[in-house]
Amino acid sequence: MTAFEKWKASRQADILAAQGDVSLIAMHDIKEAMSVAEVAGTWAPTSENPGLTLTATMADGLKINGELVDGVYKIIADETIVEAADGRTMMATSQPESNHLLAIWDMTCAARQNYVAIDTYAYNENAVFEGQLERDEQQTFSFSHTSDSAGTRQHESIGEIVVEIEGQTYRLRPFAAGAYSIIVFRDMTSGSETYGTGRMLLIKPDANGRVTLDFNYSFLPPCAFSPHFNCPMPPFSNRLKRAMTAGEKNVIWK
């Protein structure tokens, strides 16, 4: 199995996992102590960012690490998994300017049952490019999001990736994602052959700022699988004037 085939298999496994994108049924912005429709307990923002607190009794049937919740528990963002008796799972997470989000997954939801696979292009050797990072002292950049009615959000950004594609120089703007950065982009296939909002590409510049952009590994954003995600959209700098026939195309549903 090639590295590309292994990547496609790992993507399929991630999508179908307990906290896979296709199983997300709700995303609540917890601004004060409140209950939510999908699960028991009272959820509240932590005093520090990001994270939540959960208040529940044993009768609510919520578990952390297999133990029933009985009292007030701190839910560490992107780490603590809360399990409900019906199999639903919950996790605190965050986005820029939304530090106290509650994500809820259900592996029995309709989308999970109707999901088939990810339609993907065959590996394209002409979709690999070498770029150079130009660091930005500002360290932030404005991105619009799919579910925001107006305005933008400030994401951390390492700078611009300067790359030449078919004779045209682009200055692609990534946003930070842990040790990596992600370029969210559109191209001439967007909305026809591929997901209309755009696709994403994970990059990691080396110590000298050199970065390989292999668009064969471009992937669908989480909002392609569930409307409850609020994904960043491609800024104008990340809109390619060519068809990038590589990477994931669309979700296949029953």
Chain segment 78-99, per-residue pLDDT in tens:
999 999 999 999 999 998 888 9
Nearest to 26 by CA among 96, 111, 103, 84: 103
The amino acid occupying position 124 is N
Contact 173, 233 (CB under 8 A): no
pLDDT digits (tens, 9 = 90+) for 146-174: 988 778 899 999 999 999 999 999 999 99
Of residues 187 and 150, which shows the higher confidence score?
187
pLDDT digits (tens, 9 = 90+) for 213-240: 999 999 999 999 999 999 999 999 999 9
pTM attached to this predicted model: 0.94
Residues 6+ apart with CB under 8 A from 198: 184, 185, 186, 190, 221, 233, 234, 238
- Rounded percentage of the chain residues whose pLDDT exceeds 90: 89
**Cα 82 to the center of its chain, rounded Å:** 20
Q: Taking residues 25-47, what's their average pLDDT?
A: 96
What is the reported pLDDT for 10? 97
Contact 198, 183 (CB under 8 A): no
Contact 131, 50 (CB under 8 A): no
What is the reported pLDDT for 254? 97
Q: In what order do the strands lie in the sheet with 180-185?
A: 175-177, 180-185, 199-203
- Between CA 216 and CA 119, with CA 5 as vertex, the angle to 5 degrees is 65
Residue 137's pLDDT band (boundaries 50, 70, 90)? confident
What is the reported pLDDT for 149? 79
Note the residue count of the chain. 254
